[in-house]
Structures are given as C-alpha cells and as structure tokens.
Amino acid sequence: MDAQHTIRRQISCVGIGLHSGNKVNLTLKPAPADFGIRFRRTDLGSHEVPATVQNLAGIQLATGLANNEVSVETVEHLLAALVSVGIDNLRIELNSPEVPIMDGSAAPFVYLIHEAGVKRLQTPRKYLKIVRPIAISRGDKRIALFPSDHFKVTYSISYDHPLLRHQSRTLRITEESFAEEIAPARTFTFLKDVEMLRQNGLALGGSLDNAIVLGETGVLNNALRYEDEFVRHKILDAVGDLALVGYPVIGHLVAHRAGHALHTEFAAKILEESQAWRLVESPFEPVSAPVGLPVKDMAHRLAN
C-alpha cells in the first residue's frame, strides 16, 4: 500500500503574478488525509477552492480555477510539482489571484516542497489507473491516455519557427525524472505575441527572467536550459493540468500540439469516462478491462 502524503511544515515564498505584475505571497500548509489540494485567497476570506476539474475557469494562456467567485490563476506549474513529489493533501494560500510565476518553471516549487519536507500520512493513496484508451482531438490537436503500469508522457509539438519546428519526447514521470528533466523547463512565448498580450493588460509581470521569448530566428534569453526545453515545458503543463482529476494517474498520456484548453477538457473527460479506469491502491494492482468491451476491442484482444 502506498500512503498519502502532505508536507512536514508550513513554508512561504514571494514572487510576482505573470499577468498582473503584482507581488504575491504564497504559503503551503500541511493538510490531513483525503483533504486534497485546495487554494485559499487570504485577501478574500476563508473560502477554499479545491484543485479539481469541477472548478475549472478561465483557461486561456494558463489554467485557472474558481468557486463561489473566488478565483486563482496559473495553477499548473505548482500542481505539476506537487504531483511529481507525491503531495496528495495541501492548503495553498495566496494573497492575490495568481500563483507567482517564479522563473517560469516548476523547479522553484519542487525546491520549496523539499524545503518543507514530505510527511507520510496513515491513509492509503488511491491511483486512477487507465484500463482502456480515452482520447479526444480538436483539429490537428490530439490527446489520449492508454493503459500502462506507470505514469508516462509522450508529447510532440510543431511550430513554424526555426528553433522549434518539431520536438517530441517520451518520459516516465517519477519524482527524480521530473526534477531533473522537466521541472526546470520554462514557459515560452513569441515576441510578436508579447505586445498583443500587453495591450490586453496581460503578461505585465512577464520578462526574460520568467519566460523564454522567441524572436524571429532565435531566443532573446541568453541560453536555453535544454535544447528541447519547449516540449519539456509542455510535458510540465500537461502533468499539472492532469492533476485536476484529483488522483495520481497511472497510464501513458500521449499529446500532440495540445495546450491548457485541451489538457483540461481532457481531464474532465477522464472523470466522465468512468468505464475507462479503476481506482486502485497500487499502480501495479492487476485490473481487468471492464466487461462489455466493444466488439472491435474484443477482436483486438483475441488476436493478441
């Protein structure tokens, strides 16, 4: 049995909101078993917003949540860090609408969680294990989950830009692989879009300190952290957005040219497709596919 985890002690940091440019205080506090991940806006009272698909709101450039008119924005990098370290239960307090952008990656949050320490609770963790494929596509954007004994992500992107073109990566997500290969990958944007964002009152806190900015032929920043930092950041975003299903997912996520809108639509679809998964207490627990498989699937199984 794997147990649920929280953090050992309260910890805080200060950063700026990407869109508002305002200073934000972020505090992480331990929480009991089965509490889940919940946000609280200390500037708006005691109402809590659970980090679940039911509270999705305002998905454009980042993933936002809202409940009872209390909103929090840009939650995905922090959620990705929590999933990777295996934090199931946490109170997250903010004094502003946005999770601070830090350096545009999840590395500062992984560091913060490690500084707070991880505490094992006495209650079993439940995993959402995929037993039959789930997929959606919108035009040339696609996302799917397939059965696997691990949480694995394959992501591919293609852009009409000399530095990006086509990038693809597959990685089994563990605490170690996430910390070393994914967490430091920063968010990216195109210089031509920055002006448009600013005119719309967005990205006011954005700078070369918290995003990779792509000009016509290269990056404006001094250097990339990885040659394929862009696709690595997309994996980071997908891991964070998938956290909104409320359980660690055991399956192989495959995405092509997706983004927050498709990731979060997919997270909601997973919960709807309850025939496609089982809640289990171990990633390796054998689970049979549900009865009543369509004939096509049955034929495939017989042939294999």
Q: Which is nearer to Zn ion, 233 or 278 (CB)?
A: 233
4 near Zn ion, rule: CB under 5 A: no
Tell me the sheet residues that pair with 13: 26
105 near Zn ion, rule: CB under 5 A: no
- Pick from 237, 238, 266, 267: which binds Zn ion (CB under 5 A)? 237
- Pick from 71, 89, 187, 210: which binds Zn ion (CB under 5 A)? 187
Q: Which is nearer to Zn ion, 263 or 278 (CB)?
A: 263
Count interface residues toward Zn ion (CB under 5 A): 2
Q: What's the Cα-to-Cα distance from 217 to each of 156, 165, 192, rounded to whole Å?
A: 21, 12, 12
* In the block, residue with structure tokens 């913060």: 112
Q: How far is the CB of 211 from Zn ion (least distance, A)?
A: 9
274-293 residues near Zn ion, rule: CB under 5 A: none
Q: Which of 19, 77, 233, 260 is catalytic?
A: 260
Q: Which is nearer to Zn ion, 260 or 278 (CB)?
A: 260
Report the 10 Å Cβ neighbour count for 138.
Answer: 12
* In the block, residue with structure tokens 């689970």: 287
Tokens for 142? 């696609």
297 three-class SS: helix
Pairing of strands 249-256, 70-72: unpaired
* In the block, residue with structure tokens 């934090």: 87
Q: How far is the CB of 237 from Zn ion (least distance, A)?
A: 4
**Known active-site residue 260:** yes
Q: How far is the CB of 106 from Zn ion (least distance, A)?
A: 8
CA angle, residues 81, 83, 84, in degrees to nearest 5: 65
Q: Which is nearer to Zn ion, 93 or 229 (CB)?
A: 229
Q: How far is the CB of 187 from Zn ion (least distance, A)?
A: 4
Tell me the sheet residues that pair with 278: 129
Span from 118-126, 174-182, 187-195, 224-232 in contact with Zn ion (CB under 5 A) = 187-195
Tell me the sheet residues that pair with 145: 134, 253
CA angle, residues 287, 289, 292, in degrees to nearest 5: 145
Per-residue b or e along 86-119, where b marks 16 or more CB atoms closer than 10 Å to that residue's CB = bbbbbbbbbbbbbbbbbbbbbbbbbebbeebeee
Span from 87-95, 131-139, 211-219, 237-245 in contact with Zn ion (CB under 5 A) = 237-245
Span from 108-116, 163-171, 185-193, 293-301 in contact with Zn ion (CB under 5 A) = 185-193
Active site residues: 260
Residues that bind Zn ion (CB under 5 A): 187, 237
